[in-house]
Amino acid sequence: MRRLTVALTLLATLGAGSFLGPQAVSADQEGPGRGTNILVVGIDSRAGLSAAEKRRLHVGGKGCNCTDVMMLVHLSEDQRRASVVSIPRDSYVPYAGAAGDTAPARWGKINGAYAIGGGPLTVRTVENVTGLHIDHYLETGFTGFEQAVNNLGGATVCTDQPLKDENSGLDVAAGVHHTDGNGTLRYVRARHVNQRPGDLGRVRRQQRVVNDLLARLTAEGALDGPVNTARTARALLKSVRADERTGLVDLVRIGWALGRLRPDRTEFATVPIRLFDHRVPGVGSTLLWDEPRSAALWDALGADRPITGDTRIQPVPQTPVASNPAAIAVRVDDETVAAALRATGFAATSSQSAPSTRPDGPPVITYPAGRDEDAATLAAALPGALLRPGPKEDKVFDVAVGTRPVQVKTVTYDRNVVDGAPVTADRLRCAGASATPLTR
């Protein structure tokens, strides 16, 4: 299989299901905005998979026949920039209605639009909630992703902490690893990992894999020139289902443009979220978009502007931190400092009694060994504090106030910053020059 198959398939197949046959996507040929917008989806369906394939891919559950992965790829009008925006599957949105329908819109998770009306309703719903015109639509499945990664010789995955998810079969140690198609599929599908479970972390892992594979394709010259790209585009059309408006010429143009982009001209982001657990009767836990920030994101894409560096999409907090203060239990030997930490979001309490004498110097934070990220978050709120690891089994962070005056700073934890902020490809790559093979 030609390499362009991987170049676009990798966007379509993360956590997807099987093909469901041709469907025409009804949308006007001309739409607002500049550049080209491609909606790429993966379907959570087990249709056509044998029992052996389900076991091998670790996808034994019942599929929902809905979109499990959704990425909107914007290629700028001058073809010198690409912006890849992940739309989380649990986004709570109004579904598009039929033309001329005046009934109130039905709301649900965005992944459910496919189950109701397939690709056409999915496209119309995305167009309605983003204000963008979708020019092309691509769809594929589990086995397509596995085959694409294997044809490329595997993928590079990375994590700074061990990740385990029984649902997807993921079990990787901290570090950089080389995985085959099956292992990579588990990495990008995992939603119930021990560190920050949910879609944002999973989406960022998907983006890292996409970024790594695109970088390798470019380095190998797999998208070098329209002639070679045209040959491989024919193979793409055999393994990825496209809508009726997407043909060989379109795929050649898109693939060749992607192959010529510098890493700092490729952007990745996730739709900013305001509420991560919006409960809806009959629907379950959903995600609510941050209205001003998501509107700014779609506005930038519609105007063909970069999304990185736009403070309307990603405000820059004064003291950002990487973990949630509310999940950090802190015990302080000074009630005034404890109250100030509570005011900035920490689960802080004070000791029963203050010490008769205090050590000379700044505050000392004794933290459970292995919780370095949380320790850094607490230290950001106590500038100048000293960090000392304690027993790993401890659950509480102890703060001993010294003789120096204590300043408590307000810190800002934003999951959108940690897991979904707009970032260029050169900043998203896995660190480390070599990867160890991952065995299962």
Q: What is the pLDDT of residue 387?
A: 96
Q: Which of the pair, 357 or 241, is modelled with greater confidence?
A: 357
Q: What is the pLDDT of residue 24?
A: 38
How far apart CA 118 and CA 40 sit, in angstroms, is 13
Q: What percent of the chain has pLDDT over 90?
A: 45
Question: DSSP class of residue 414?
Answer: -
What local confidence, expressed as pLDDT, does residue 253 receive?
82
- Point out the least confidently predicted range of 121-135, 184-198, 270-284, 404-418: 184-198
Q: Which residue type sits at 195?
A: Q
Residue 10, pLDDT score: 47
How would you label 283-305 residue by residue, b for 16+ Cβ within 10 Å and e otherwise? eeebbbbbeebbbbbbbbbbebe
Phi, psi of 157 (to 5 degrees): -125, 155
- In the chain, what percentage of residues exceed pLDDT 70? 81
The pLDDT score that the predictor gives to residue 223 is 63
* CB of 273 closer than 8 Å to CB of 415: yes
Average pLDDT estimate for 398-425: 92
Output the six-digit token pair for 186. 């588990």
Range of weakest confidence among 25-29, 43-47, 338-342: 25-29
CATH 3.40.630.190 fits 3-316+418-437, yes or no: yes
Closest CA to 340 of 394, 401, 396: 401
pLDDT at 222: 61
Average pLDDT estimate for 77-97: 95
- What pLDDT does 50 receive? 77
**pLDDT reported for residue 241:** 77
Q: For residues 193 and 201, is the Cβ–Cβ distance under 8 A?
A: yes
Higher-scoring residue by pLDDT: 440, 305: 305
pLDDT digits (tens, 9 = 90+) for 245-254: 877 788 778 8
- The pLDDT, as a whole number, for residue 306 is 97
Q: What pLDDT digit, counting tens, does each position of 116-138 carry? A: 999 999 999 999 999 999 999 98
